């Protein structure tokens, strides 16, 4: 009989908790109308999954060396990126101008900003896995795949809400991004 590896048992719930930000941001991105839903879905699922899994891997590689430096400002980076994207969405929704976001925030620099902003916490998780002596291959794959699945679900929900509520849901999507950024900031500053 083999012993239970407790680290393996916590990976899935950990991946789901990390994927909540990806789900919420994808829901906001899904509110923007697009002519090619499949490509937008692929771009967001691929990038959010890649960044979540990749940041966990990078955090693991960084180990103890970078932890004191990153811990001081990672929450500020996540907050600023999400606040910027959320602010742009609020501004576009208020003006009734989705063209200011290229009609699709899943392209270009907006895609990169959202991917980094939603995966900063995965960096810290990878770092904690390294400090506990855990391997990283299985956890980073799990984190990336779960983030991709949750991104897809968030996009689908955001798209449906966008059809029902129209322009107003874009405003709500921007608020959600801002709230996620504030939550990240408060959780790091308060804890």
Model confidence over 25-39: pLDDT tens digits? 888 788 777 768 888
Model confidence over 79-95: pLDDT tens digits? 777 777 777 777 766 77
Which pTM value belongs to this model?
0.73
Q: How many whole angstroms separate alpha carbon 51 and alpha carbon 186?
A: 23
**Other CB atoms within 10 Å distance of the CB of residue 5:** 12
In the chain, what are the domain boundaries?
7-190
Long-range contacts of 170-173, Cβ-Cβ distance < 8 Å, separation of 24 or more: 170/28, 170/31, 170/32, 170/89, 170/92, 170/93, 170/98, 171/89, 171/90, 171/93, 171/94, 172/28, 172/31, 173/27, 173/28, 173/29, 173/30, 173/31, 173/86, 173/89, 173/93
Q: How many whole angstroms separate alpha carbon 142 and alpha carbon 128?
A: 16
pLDDT of residue 7: 57
pLDDT of residue 99: 47
Q: For the chain, what is the mean pLDDT?
A: 79
Look-up of token digits 């990169």: 112
Closest residue by Cα to residue 25 from 122, 93, 116: 116
Rg of the chain on CA atoms, in Å: 17
pLDDT of residue 102: 47
- Total residue length of the chain: 191
């Amino acid at each position: 009989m083999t012993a239970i590896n407790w680290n393996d048992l916590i990976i899935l719930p950990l991946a789901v908790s990390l994927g909540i930000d990806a789900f919420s941001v994808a829901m906001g991105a899904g509110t923007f109308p697009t002519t090619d839903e499949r490509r937008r879905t692929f771009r967001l699922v691929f990038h959010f999954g890649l960044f979540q899994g990749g940041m966990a891997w990078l955090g693991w590689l960084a180990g103890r060396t970078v932890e004191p430096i990153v811990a001081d400002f990672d929450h500020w980076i996540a907050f600023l990126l999400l606040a910027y994207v959320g602010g742009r969405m609020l501004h576009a929704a208020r003006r009734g101008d989705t063209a200011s976001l290229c009609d699709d925030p899943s392209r270009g620099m907006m895609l990169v900003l959202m991917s980094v902003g939603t995966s900063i916490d995965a960096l810290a998780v990878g770092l904690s896995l390294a400090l506990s002596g855990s391997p990283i291959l299985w956890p980073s794959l799990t984190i990336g795949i779960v983030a991709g699945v949750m991104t897809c679900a968030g996009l689908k929900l955001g798209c449906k809400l966008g059809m029902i509520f129209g322009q107003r849901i874009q405003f709500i999507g921007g608020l959600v991004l801002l709230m996620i950024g504030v939550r990240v900031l408060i959780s790091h500053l308060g804890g």
